[in-house]
């Protein structure tokens, strides 16, 4: 008998969007360079290699988020213990909405995510470091 999904990704995204602050690319660009803001890149390493990076962003693969936030975890990262605003982004804004809600549910605050993710960031002409050309 097939699994019955009682809450699909669209419902989870809607809940996340209702619970966390969503920043436009322009709003997010206004936060670049501020010492009290940490941009958190949730994309996997292959995406960074392929698409480039946001200068100064902290890379946290989505699969490690909960473990890196929790100070009781053996994998905890000090950056998440800092008194700063955390702005999450992924490629298109879905993973970052869910991640920001999870981070907020864990007690991290203030948090936000970038609408449209890194794709919208690049399309808007915001600063990014291009991917390194492949050698060989």
User: Which domains does the chain show, CATH number per domain?
Assistant: 16-123 (3.40.250.10)
Using one digit for the tens of pLDDT, what is the confidence trace for 30-56?
A: 999 999 999 999 999 999 999 999 999
Using one digit for the tens of pLDDT, what is the confidence trace for 1-17?
A: 788 889 999 999 999 99
136 falls in which pLDDT band (50, 70, 90)? low
- Per DSSP, 110 falls in state S
> Taken in order 104, 11, 95, 74, is the CA torsion positive or negative?
positive
- Going from the C-alpha of 99 to that of each of 14, 50, 126, the distances in angstroms are 13, 22, 22
pTM over 0.75: yes
């Amino acid at each position: 008998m097939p699994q019955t999904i009682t809450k699909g990704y669209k419902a989870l995204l809607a809940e996340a969007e209702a619970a966390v602050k969503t920043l436009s690319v322009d709003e997010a660009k206004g936060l670049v360079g501020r010492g009290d803001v940490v941009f958190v890149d949730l994309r996997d390493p292959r995406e960074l290699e392929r698409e480039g990076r946001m200068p100064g962003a902290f890379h946290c693969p989505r699969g490690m988020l909960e473990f890196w936030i929790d100070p009781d975890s053996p994998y905890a990262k000090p950056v998440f213990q800092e008194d700063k605003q955390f702005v999450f982004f992924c490629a298109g804004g879905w993973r970052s909405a869910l991640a920001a809600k999870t981070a907020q549910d864990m007690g991290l605050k203030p948090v936000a995510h970038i609408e449209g993710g890194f794709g919208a960031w690049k399309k808007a002409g915001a600063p990014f470091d291009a991917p390194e050309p492949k050698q060989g």
